[in-house]
Amino acid sequence: MKLAVFLSDWRRTEDSFERLKADKMGVVLVGNGIYHAVVKENGKDSPVLSKAGASYYVLADDLEIRGYTAANVNSKVKVISYGDIVDLIMNDYEKTAWL
Amino acid sequence: MGELTLGVFPSLVGSMSLDFSFRLAEAAIAKGHKVNMWLSGNAVMMAKKGQKAFKDYSYNDKLMKELIAKGMEITACEACAEARGYHKEDAPEGMKRASMDWYLAKTVKTDRLLHIGGE
């Protein structure tokens, strides 16, 4: 299964997230989920970014409205637009999950 | 082109996930996709016509009307609306009201489904 997971909050959702398994996984950081892409705690990346084999994306609009730019984003994460999200859903992944 | 169905289940008025849903729908329609949107829970705030835009306040009424004009099918949960005092005559032009059956039927037939939860 090809699964796109939307993380919309900064709250700890690792328990649910860690249980998710897929042949191919894309993680889309939106809303307050964008903090996973820009904040380090004690010098470490968010645990969300450690999913083996996953691809990471962050919504540019939600970054900018919180005062961040692409320059602030973790190198594991690609900055994308709403149109890019549509393409991910329609072309690259079969199922979606919202956490 | 495909068909994308969005189930929108946000929390409070001004919800970020409701804003996200409309902007994603706009992008999907711009790419030629058919979009269905189900409004549940507090998302039925959109089922009240005559909304006014204020500065720095979430406002999706104008975009919603534009998307309806472009073919977006949008339906509000009838029970959620009635529970909040929004009646059939309050609904904006082009918006349907139905039971959850409408959403379930869409989830079976649609090419892709994104069920957007609360915050």
Q: What is the ipTM of this complex?
A: 0.90
Which residue in A9, A85, A94 is closest to B24 by CB distance? Answer: A85
**In the structure encoding, which two tokens stand for residue B110, read together?**
């649609």
Would you place residue B63 in the very low, low, confident or very high pLDDT band (cuts 50, 70, 90)? very high
Q: Which residues of B touch A82 (CB under 8 A)?
A: 23-24, 26-27
Domain limits, chain B: 3-50+58-112
Q: What amino acid is encoded at B14 in this protein?
A: G
Who has greater pLDDT, B44 or B16?
B44
* Best CA proximity match to A46, nearest among A5, A3, A14, A80: A14
Which residue in B16, B27, B113 is closest to A86 by CB distance? Answer: B27
User: Can you give the pLDDT at residue B14?
Assistant: 61
Domain limits, chain A: 2-98
User: Can you give the pLDDT at residue A16?
Assistant: 84
Is residue A81 scored above 70 in pLDDT?
Answer: yes
pTM attached to this predicted model? 0.91
* Span of B7-11, B31-35, B86-90, B93-97 with lowest mean pLDDT: B7-11
Question: Residue range A20-45: average pLDDT?
Answer: 94
Are A48 and A14 spatial neighbours (Cβ–Cβ below 8 Å)? yes
User: Can you give the pLDDT at residue B12?
Assistant: 61
Name, in order, each residue with C-beta under 8 angstroms of A66's C-beta and a sequence gap of 6 or more.
A34, A35
Distance CA B107, CA B11 (A): 21
User: Can you give the pLDDT at residue A9?
Assistant: 86
Q: Among A32, A89, A94, which would you mutate to test the B interface (most chain B Cβ atoms within 10 Å of its Cβ)?
A: A89
Buried b (16+ CB within 10 A) or exposed e, B76-112: bbbebbeeeebeeebbbeebebeeeebbeebeeebeb
Is residue A13 scored above 80 in pLDDT?
Answer: no
Distance CA A65, CA B84 (A): 31
Q: Which residues of B touch A89 (CB under 8 A)?
A: 4, 112, 114
User: Can you give the pLDDT at residue B43?
Assistant: 93
Residue with tokens 């993380």: A7
CATH classification of B3-50+58-112 is 3.40.50.920, yes or no? no
User: Can you give the pLDDT at residue B31?
Assistant: 98
Q: Which CATH number fits domain A2-98: 3.40.640.10, 3.90.1280.10, 3.40.47.10, 3.40.1260.10?
A: 3.40.1260.10
Phi-psi region of B115 (alpha: psi -120 to 50; beta: other; left: phi over 0): beta
Would you place residue B26 in the very low, low, confident or very high pLDDT band (cuts 50, 70, 90)? very high
* Span of A77-81, B34-38, B47-51 with lowest mean pLDDT: B47-51
Edge-to-edge strand list for the sheet holding B73-77: B95-98, B73-77, B34-39, B3-8, B112-116
